[in-house]
Chains A and B, each alone.
Chain A
Amino acid sequence: MNTKTALLKVENLRFRWLSSQRDVMDIPELSIQKGERVFIKGESGAGKTTLLSLLGGINLPDSGLINILGTDISQLKQSRRDQFRADHIGFVFQLFNLIPYLSVIENITLACEFSSRRKAKALSKSKTLEDEAYRLLSHLQLQDRRLLTKPVSELSVGQQQRVAAARALIGSPELIIADEPTSALDADTREHFLNLLLSECEYSGSTVLFVSHDRGLEHAFDRSILLNELNKADSRSKDQQQGDML
């Protein structure tokens, strides 16, 4: 694989929690191309969230290299790492993605408040951030303008996930990381949501890293990786350690 076209490159990554004796993450190599849609499959407790925290620069690896867009984020200062995440990565979580006291529109545009880069990008597509948020929502088939000012608690789970997707997508970050975003949805909405998310990522040219335990979604992706194969750390001891942690 050519390093120049790789959006994300991980080498010899090792990570353990502070209180732990053993590594929970040991990834010799992972490379994701620009524009690629990657499905990472892992059972619960396999270290999915830990991996995403490392890739997002929230936690630092003990050793190894995490190169995103040509920057080794493990070498960055914490505040620079946070800024890097704000500028280049959009996250969608499993559930309760939204800030309860902000409206739908405010939740979406919040991503731009933390990144002037994404704000500028969003404004290059629409006149205002609100327009851009609305444009994304209608792409995600949430056209009803009345929804925009509603408290987020009045939205259905499916609607909430689409708002979260719009927030991850606004300002076209290069990498979208989705952590089980469909697990709270029923079978029909799940497929629907996935298609909307992927087509919108394709439209904005974002690379997708989708983490889930649900094999049924695998088919929509370019590549599928088993987390247990990727991560060489002994999974049994890892489970124990997670047990210790909790």
Chain B
Amino acid sequence: MNFLLLLKLTFKSILNRRFTSCLTLLSICISVFLLLGVDTVRKEAKHSFTNTISGTDLLVGARSGSVQLLLYSVFRIGNATNNIGWDSYEKISSHPSVAWSIPISLGDSHKGFRVMGTTQAYFEHYRFADDQALEFKIGKPFSGVYDTVIGAEVAENLGYQLGDELMLAHGVYDTDFARHDDKPFVVTGILERTGTPVDRTIHVSLQGIEALHIDWKTGTRSREKVSAKQALDLDLQPKQITAFMLGLNSKMEIFRVQRAINNYKREPMLAVLPGLALGELWQLIGVAEKALFIIAVFVLLNSFVGLLTVILTSLNERRREIAILRSLGCRPNQIFILLASESLLFAIVGCFLGVFLFLVAIVLSQPVLQGYGLHIPLSSFGFEQLVLIAIVIGVSFLIGSIPGYRAYKQSLADGMSIKL
């Protein structure tokens, strides 16, 4: 008597209960898919999150919290509490340990997208993901005062092309009375998609920011208007910036420079390591990711309970069948295998379908996910996922041994008598 016969019997028995079997299988398949999906999305989300900024050794802003600094300077969320004087920036960026620096000036917006004033250094030194530089889909960095380079999502959402003009607004809310409508900016470049907040940013030169605000005092427009043309002749040297990024000559110097900035006497400033601040921020929002995973695990457990219910219910109807098999010489331990293999078979087929569904979903959803800055390659089904599947199958065997053991016991107790 071989194992194959038992497997054949199990298979035919399941086939005989097609409808409930299909539903059970569907529930396992969906749970496995959900588990894999949540696991992958959370890993990729974390990955993409930590990939937002790379290559920058220190992030410097007015003294506040490190998470807040990270939020406004890198994620463009919220506002800075204070600005930094240009002289402090110049002083620090000319420090011998500093290789490069990118000044950032925030505060304006355009139709919901943040405007960031910076310099050419930004296009040269800013890195994201695994040391990837910004690339232009079309056009080139800004050179004139009223030039602008827009992120991929800005271009896509607002339909801007090279040469289009756009009006920036003062503050985060784009309202009529706060619009810098006398000084239109021209799109000179559109960046490739990065999957980071860069996609949602409108980049202009620091001089552009200065020109916009030259006739603004304390948040409103002053009476003496300065036209776009007139502004070009004025001194557009910025006096303040919001934050800046530093690249150092040697990683060994990070902490020394950080300490120097934090102890800078003339202005209270805060320097943080982007990686550490990202980790801190992820601890805050990573709870949601953990909760999702736990829910997925429970959904899977739930479908196993469903599977167990289905098999145990069928066990009562199958007492007769078991007695017949016993009379034909089937051993009690074979009866055990017969019942235990059922849930194993469900789990294996369910996992197979779940993985298949998962891979199909990856392929289909890739364009959509990319929009959220998530890049999930097919290769994200790897060793860890296989371990997850192995655990699922292992658990299903443990669960299957419950009806298996009951049937084993029953077959010994019932003997030849078949209860109707």
The answer to whether B321 has its CB under 8 Å from any CB of chain A is yes
Pairwise interchain contact B320-A114, C-beta atoms closer than 8 A? no
Interface residues of B in 60-115 (CB under 8 A from A): none
- B320 CB contact (under 8 Å) in A49, A96, A102: A96
Pairwise interchain contact A93-B418, C-beta atoms closer than 8 A? yes
Pairwise interchain contact B328-A111, C-beta atoms closer than 8 A? yes
The answer to whether A9 has its CB under 8 Å from any CB of chain B is no
Pairwise interchain contact B332-A85, C-beta atoms closer than 8 A? no
Known: A99-B321, A114-B1. A58 touches B328 (CB 8 A): no
Question: Residue on B with the closest CB to A100?
Answer: B16
Pairwise interchain contact B329-A53, C-beta atoms closer than 8 A? no
The answer to whether A78 has its CB under 8 Å from any CB of chain B is yes
Pairwise interchain contact B321-A100, C-beta atoms closer than 8 A? yes
Pairwise interchain contact A58-B416, C-beta atoms closer than 8 A? yes
Most buried by A among B325, B331, B332, B420: B331
The answer to whether B263 has its CB under 8 Å from any CB of chain A is no
Pairwise interchain contact A114-B329, C-beta atoms closer than 8 A? yes
Interface string of B298-309 (1 = CB under 8 A from A): 000000000000
In the complex, chain A residues whose CB is within 8 Å of the CB of B132: none
The answer to whether A113 has its CB under 8 Å from any CB of chain B is yes
A145 to B416, CA, bound (A): 31
Min CB distance A108 to B, Å, is 11
In the complex, chain B residues whose CB is within 8 Å of the CB of A100: 16, 321
The answer to whether B391 has its CB under 8 Å from any CB of chain A is no
The answer to whether B5 has its CB under 8 Å from any CB of chain A is yes
- B326 CB contact (under 8 Å) in A50, A52, A58, A96: A58
Pairwise interchain contact B416-A52, C-beta atoms closer than 8 A? yes
Interface residues of B in 126-148 (CB under 8 A from A): none
The answer to whether A56 has its CB under 8 Å from any CB of chain B is yes
A193 to B286, CA, bound (A): 74
A91 to B13, CA, bound (A): 22
The answer to whether B15 has its CB under 8 Å from any CB of chain A is yes
Most buried by A among B5, B12, B415: B415
In the complex, chain A residues whose CB is within 8 Å of the CB of B417: 49-50, 53
Pairwise interchain contact A78-B332, C-beta atoms closer than 8 A? yes
Pairwise interchain contact B321-A95, C-beta atoms closer than 8 A? no
Known: A58-B326, A58-B416. A101 touches B13 (CB 8 A): yes
Pairwise interchain contact A85-B327, C-beta atoms closer than 8 A? yes
Pairwise interchain contact B330-A82, C-beta atoms closer than 8 A? yes
Pairwise interchain contact B327-A56, C-beta atoms closer than 8 A? yes
Pairwise interchain contact B5-A101, C-beta atoms closer than 8 A? no
Pairwise interchain contact B5-A56, C-beta atoms closer than 8 A? no
A96 to B417, CA, bound (A): 12
In the complex, chain A residues whose CB is within 8 Å of the CB of B16: 100-101
In the complex, chain B residues whose CB is within 8 Å of the CB of A114: 1, 328-330
Pairwise interchain contact B327-A101, C-beta atoms closer than 8 A? no
In the complex, chain B residues whose CB is within 8 Å of the CB of A91: 327-328, 416
The answer to whether A10 has its CB under 8 Å from any CB of chain B is no
A139 to B58, CA, bound (A): 93
Min CB distance B337 to A, Å, is 13
- A97 CB contact (under 8 Å) in B15, B324, B332: B324
Min CB distance B139 to A, Å, is 69
In the complex, chain A residues whose CB is within 8 Å of the CB of B12: 101-102, 106
Question: Residue on B with the closest CB to A88?
Answer: B329
Min CB distance A142 to B, Å, is 19
Question: Residue on B with the closest CB to A93?
Answer: B418
Interface residues of B in 12-71 (CB under 8 A from A): 12-13, 15-16
Pairwise interchain contact A99-B324, C-beta atoms closer than 8 A? yes
Min CB distance A42 to B, Å, is 14
In the complex, chain B residues whose CB is within 8 Å of the CB of A56: 327, 416
A83 to B333, CA, bound (A): 13
The answer to whether A105 has its CB under 8 Å from any CB of chain B is no
The answer to whether A157 has its CB under 8 Å from any CB of chain B is no
Most buried by B among A53, A58, A106, A110: A58
In the complex, chain B residues whose CB is within 8 Å of the CB of A24: none
Min CB distance A180 to B, Å, is 11
Interface residues of A in 79-120 (CB under 8 A from B): 79, 82-83, 85-87, 91, 93, 95-102, 106, 110-111, 113-115
Pairwise interchain contact A86-B321, C-beta atoms closer than 8 A? no
The answer to whether A235 has its CB under 8 Å from any CB of chain B is no
A52 to B327, CA, bound (A): 10
- A96 CB contact (under 8 Å) in B327, B329, B418: B418
Interface contacts beyond A82-B329, A99-B321: sample of 11 additional A-B pairs, CB < 8 Å, sorted by A: A49-B415, A53-B416, A56-B327, A79-B331, A93-B327, A93-B418, A96-B320, A97-B324, A102-B9, A102-B12, A113-B5
Q: Which residues of A contact B (CB under 8 A)?
A: 49-50, 52-53, 56, 58-59, 78-79, 82-83, 85-87, 91, 93, 95-102, 106, 110-111, 113-115, 167, 179
18 of the cross-chain contacts (CB-CB < 8 Å) are A49-B415, A49-B417, A58-B327, A58-B415, A78-B331, A82-B330, A86-B329, A86-B330, A91-B327, A91-B416, A93-B324, A93-B418, A96-B320, A96-B420, A97-B324, A101-B16, A114-B328, A167-B328
Q: Which residues of B contact A (CB under 8 A)?
A: 1, 5, 9, 12-13, 15-16, 320-321, 324-333, 415-418, 420
The 6 A-B pairs of least Cβ separation, nearest first, read: A86-B329, A101-B16, A53-B416, A114-B329, A53-B415, A91-B327
